[in-house]
Amino acid sequence: MQLKVGNIFIKDLQFGPRTEVKNQTLFVNREELTGHLLQDEHLAQVELEITHPGESVRIMPVKDVIEPRVKPDHDGGIFPGMVSKMFTAGQGTTHVLKGVSVVTTGKIVGYQEGIIDMSGPGAELCPFSKLHNLVIVANPVEGVTPYQHEAALRKMGLRAANYLGEAARNVTPDETTEYELLPLHKYHELYPELPKVAYVYMLQSQGLLHDTYFYGVDVKNIVPTLIHPTEVMDGAIVSGNCVSACDKNTTYHHQNSPVIHDLLARHGKDLCFVGSVITNENVTLLDKQRSSDLTAKLVEFLGVDGVIISEEGFGNPDTDLMMNCTKIENKGIKTVLVTDEYAGQDGTSQSLADGSPLATAIVSGGNANALVTLPAMDKVIGNIDPVEVIAGGFKGGRQADGSITVELQAIIGATNELGFNKLTAREY
């Protein structure tokens, strides 16, 4: 089996009489999509906006970012088990609308929601400023709980991405990449001389609006599981959390995980990428011990020489990161950790809440506490009012001229722990 991913490059995004791709422009029927989304009884109001790179626009508070995709050989969209019918993701053919995204915003759900600036210094810190974004501003009906509110906006964004993805169903891709899917023993047979590498993919699952979904299942309810890396490209993993914006893995991050893409690009050349183990980040010691024990066991079963481990979030999940590292290293398997740091605004504080003498290879996504001043924008989509209470904001950070000073923590993707960002840090 194999997965064929066909990229369709989009250079512009506009509203139009029908939703279609024409001359590298994605046209969206505004009224049709709005009506489609308002079928959810939990939503009182939905407004659609379009933003382009370089515009003086600020979007906040951002809940999720999703890339439109479609499987042309399937009825319905991607995101199996969530808003699409169940199927095994990561095989067959997938068409991708490259250069556009769906961004969801509206009334704040949890305090850890962030900012996308389409220009200025904030844009340099956020990968989504380079995209043509369909922004959905949605507000709930009266009386919904925060959990119902989050679920409604999460599913709304996925439905919108599926709707847009349909425009790519019959379009010939500009480029196609093929990925092989083989049984584990075949990888060992085909590449006996290459170092065997696996990826431990830690997913946020602390509850209280800190959740991630795997085929529609809240991952705090699963044990570590072996998956084929291409499954994430078809929406098998979906964001449902309000962790700090800087290191939140949006659904777009999962769909385009650079760890997975880079390992697949090197597979069969200088390493053999045998697969991924997804694991959770629960809050009790028993859950952490269970998940790290089973993660290390699965990695050992894979017969690998090395493992990359990525974290999502900080603080409490730092313990999961170090448990996974220590137990895998104790089995004689080398680890490389990908995380970010909370080292204080001056960079002199302890970077991680936990540590291990075996954690000797760490890639940093930068210091989330570093300060940045974002100039006023001509337009705000969503609501600027929560800027002093979201994670990374603080009282006095909003100035009379419209500029704001925040920690990088407030900017979506600024210190992303999949390496989907421009920052890093070094020890001197």
Count of C-beta atoms within a 10 Å radius of residue 245: 31
Instruction: Say how far apart CA 220 and CA 345 lie, in whole Å.
Output: 32
Q: How many residues does the chain have?
A: 428
At 309, list the tokens: 């481990």
Q: How far from 420 is each of 48, 258, 340, 416, 423, CA to CA, in Å?
A: 27, 6, 12, 6, 9
Phi, psi (rounded to 5 degrees) for 197: -130, 140
Q: Is 325 a catalytic residue?
A: no
Name the catalytic one among 242, 246, 272, 325.
242
Strands 92-98 and 2-9: parallel
Residue type, 153: L
360: tokens are 């000797």
CA 317-206-300 angle, to 5 degrees, is 55
Measured at the alpha carbon of residue 169, what is the angle toward residues 165 and 170, in degrees to the nearest 5?
145
Q: How far apart are CA 277 and CA 273, in angstroms?
A: 12
Q: Are the beta carbons of 60 and 384 closer than 8 angstroms?
A: yes
Which helix H or strand E contains 38, and what residues bound it?
none
Q: Report d(CA 93, CA 72) in Å as an integer.
A: 7
Give me the active site residues, please: 242
